Structure 1
Amino acid sequence: MFFNLDKLSYDGENLNVTVCKDDLTDFAFYVLLAGKKLDTKWYSKDDLSSLKIPLLIGKIYSLIIFFRPKSELTIEEEKIVKKIFFKIGYNNERYIISENILYESENIRITEYDQGSDKTFITFNSAYTDKTSDAFGGDFILSEGWNLISVHKHNRNQYQDLSLKIFEDYVKPKTVGKRTYMYGTSLGGYSGLYFGGVVDATIIAGAPMLPVHPTMNHPHYSDIEYKHIPIKDTKKTSKPVFVLHDPLQESDSGFIKKHVLPAYPLAYFIPVKGGTHLVMKTLISKGLLKDTIRDLVNHNSFNAINRITIAMG
């Protein structure tokens, strides 16, 4: 069976969603902005369903469509979920940002969203996510008009099934001629440091950590095979490396000293005092993260570092 979006339009007041489905199937949808649900349209057996909702020009919205093949008799595991990024133009024209799966295996999924920008962000999701989770920073990155390559792992895999060779084969060709940035926090921050040299990217890593690393001895990951090599033995980027961390967080500071500093001794280590391991969430709560990322993209690293230093004391 095939279920998918057929047409999406907006008249300034109503978002109209037309789908391809069979007669036994009904569908519902959510509209989200920056990961927050704005409104919901309940299940309908019609091919067309409309939702009255105000949408802002230029913002990136997520449309989440739920298909129930047997209508109300469908159990949760049988639902088909589709996610589409879109934005609205000045004359209410809608632009769907196409999804291109670059690579997928049982434990890894790499998806590209190309907006024709000369800047490409490669993001890695954190530990408690899977292949269906939202892309880390995706709404913000796409709203800025930048390209996004989103890397997901499945369950507790910790990206150990993503080799440097696979990353080079499938991701590097998409970064040729682009200003490239690696972006992530915790496991995602570690992954940016580990893979960033392959695409010679500017690396923005928050509280990098790899719980499955043998030196961490984390009991939750004792059954996961550690397959990566030390970061110091990977190919290094020639671009700036920014590591945001709370110097008072002992586990983070220890990991950085053992594994990050030997690889990138000249990195910018930006202290976020009191940020805990969740440094990126702390910066979001302080209203600092978006401007910090914009400054780093625009080569204003002094402004980014100064802003955080003053705000966090």
Structure 2
Amino acid sequence: MKTTLAHHADYRITLHQAGSAPATRLVITFGGQPSDLRDDGFGTDFCLKKGWDNIYVAQRHGTQYQGLPLDAFAAAVAPLCKGRDVLTYGPSLGGYAGLYYGGVIDARIIAAAPMLPAWPPLGHKAYRDLVLTHQPLARAPRATRAPVVILDPALRNDSRILAEMIRPAYPAVRVVEVPHAGHAVLIPLQRARVLGPLVVGLVERDEIIPFVPPGEGTAIYHGQRGQELLQSDRTAAIEQLRISLAIESSKRFFGILVNTLIRSGRLKEAQAEIDRAAAAGDKRLTLTPRLAADAASAGLRLPA
């Protein structure tokens, strides 16, 4: 059963009931940065399959949930939270939203690589014109239970969000580290068939289950490892990026590889990578317009 709880130009809040009666558990989920206004989204299907009711909170694309006031959120969902085990859950921007809105309803919180791209300390020029209406997390209403944050500890911005935004609000935050998983930390966990059991353990038992993080032999591990090595050992970085791309094509890691080869003066190798990708006809092995312009400036031949 689907019920619209709130609808606005900047947000939409929709209840999805798993059965004929309200479930004991209610999981409120939030979309990532690319998400837009819709009735369902991140986590909806998974929650319903597990017999948990879901409220999906959608943002208008590009607003980073700044158009949803705390009181409007609470007015829409608080009446449904009484007497129930309530959690907020989301990835990236959705993880930040889960932290921000979870406090006002005293929910348990699961945040995967929480990120507010427009947060001024990050200095992202692309978002400098976005007006932030949210209070700092440390001054917003806070949940009584420590949130769980899942992240790759090697990522500078993700770790900064944890240290400077989350820990001042929640000093006892429970951190689940997944090394070399990247910002989209849930994807390698899902591919390793770890994500489902991890989330079920958190939702149903408030337990962080032991698990082996995805490691060597996975594309994301080697790609992230290569990206981390760029500042200290370009040769090793290139090797790791090539291992990653041999496992699975990736536009991001392909671009990093070609760019690194160009910057290292290894133009013949960069040309060979471009030619190999063109022959494969794999759209995931193409350069962004900016990288294509850099390659052309370096005298490399690009596919027509």
Task: Give the TM-score band, short-chain normalised.
Answer: 0.5 to 0.7
**Which amino acid in structure 1 is aligned with residue 6 of structure 2?**
Y
Does the 8 Å contact 2:14/2:39 carry over to 1? no
Instruction: Tell me by how many angstroms 1:281 deviates.
Output: 1.1
Instruction: Say if 1:300 and 1:121 are closer, same or farther in 2 by CA, change over 3 A.
Output: closer
Residue in 2 aligned with 1:49?
none
Change (3 A) 1:134 1:102: closer
Deviations for 1:110-133, whole angstroms, at most 9, x for unmatched residues? 001123201000000000011137
Bigger proportion of residues as helix: 2
> How big is each residue's C-alpha offset from its partner over 1:218-249, in whole Å with a ceiling of 9 and x where there is no partner?
22222221111111111111234100000001
- Other-structure match for 2:158: 252
Q: Which amino acid aligns with 1:218?
A: H
RMSD: 1.4
Alignment of structure 1 residues 143-182 onto 2, 5 Å = 143-182=49-88
The separation in 2 between residues aligned to 1:300 and 1:155, in whole angstroms, is: 32
Where does structure 1 differ by over 2 angstroms across 4 or more consecutive aligned residues?
310-313
CA distance, structure 2, for counterparts of residue 267 and residue 224 of structure 1: 28
Structure 1 equivalent of residue 16 of structure 2: 113
Is the counterpart of residue 190 in structure 1 residue 96 in structure 2? yes
Match for residue 32 of structure 1?
none
- Aligned partner of 2:242 in structure 1 is none
SS at match of 2:61: coil
Letter in 1 for 2:82: V
1:281 correspondence with 2:193:
no
Tell me the TM-score normalised to structure 1 length.
0.65
Contact 1:164 1:198 in 2 (8 A): yes
* SS state at 1:101 partner: strand
Amino acid across the alignment from 2:123:
N
Q: How does 1:210-225 map to 2 (within 5 A)?
A: 210-225=116-131
Q: Determine the C-alpha separation between the residues in 1 that align with 2:68 and 2:205.
A: 30
> Per-residue displacement from partner, 1:144-173 (whole Å, max 9, x unpaired)?
111000000011000001111111111111
Q: How many residues align?
A: 212
Identity %: 34
Is contact 2:188–2:214 with CA below 8 Å preserved after alignment?
Answer: no
CA 1:300–1:104: 2 relative to 1, 3 Å: closer
Question: Offset at 1:287?
Answer: 0.8
Provide the C-alpha distance between the structure 2 equivalents of 1:297 and 1:186, rounded to a whole number of angstroms. 19
Q: Secondary structure at the match of 1:140?
A: helix
Q: Quick one: distance in 1 between partners of 2:123 and 2:81? A: 35
Q: Which runs of 5+ in 2 are unaligned?
A: 216-304
- Identify the residue that residue 92 of structure 1 maps to in structure 2: none
Whichever structure has more strand as a proportion of its residues is 1
CA distance in 1, matches of 2:60, 2:44: 18
Whole-Å Cα distance in 1 between the matches of residues 101 and 35 of structure 2? 19
Stretch deviating more after TM superposition (124-133 or 265-274)? 124-133
State the SS of the aligned residue for 1:177. Answer: coil
What is the match of residue 311 of structure 1?
A: 213
Q: How far apart in 2 are the matches of 1:300 and 1:110?
A: 25
The question of whether the paired residues in 2 share the 8 Å contact of 1:183 and 1:189 is answered with yes
Matching of residues 56-205 of structure 1 within 5 Å: 98-115=1-18, 116-132=22-38, 134-205=40-111
Are 2:200 and 1:297 equivalent residues in the alignment? no
Pairwise CA distance, 1:104: 1.0
Question: Structure 1: any 5+ residue segments left out of the alignment?
Answer: 1-97
Contact 2:115 2:158 in 1 (8 A): yes
Q: Report the CA distance between 1:312 and its aligned residue.
A: 4.2
Alignment of 1:8-87 (within 5 A): none
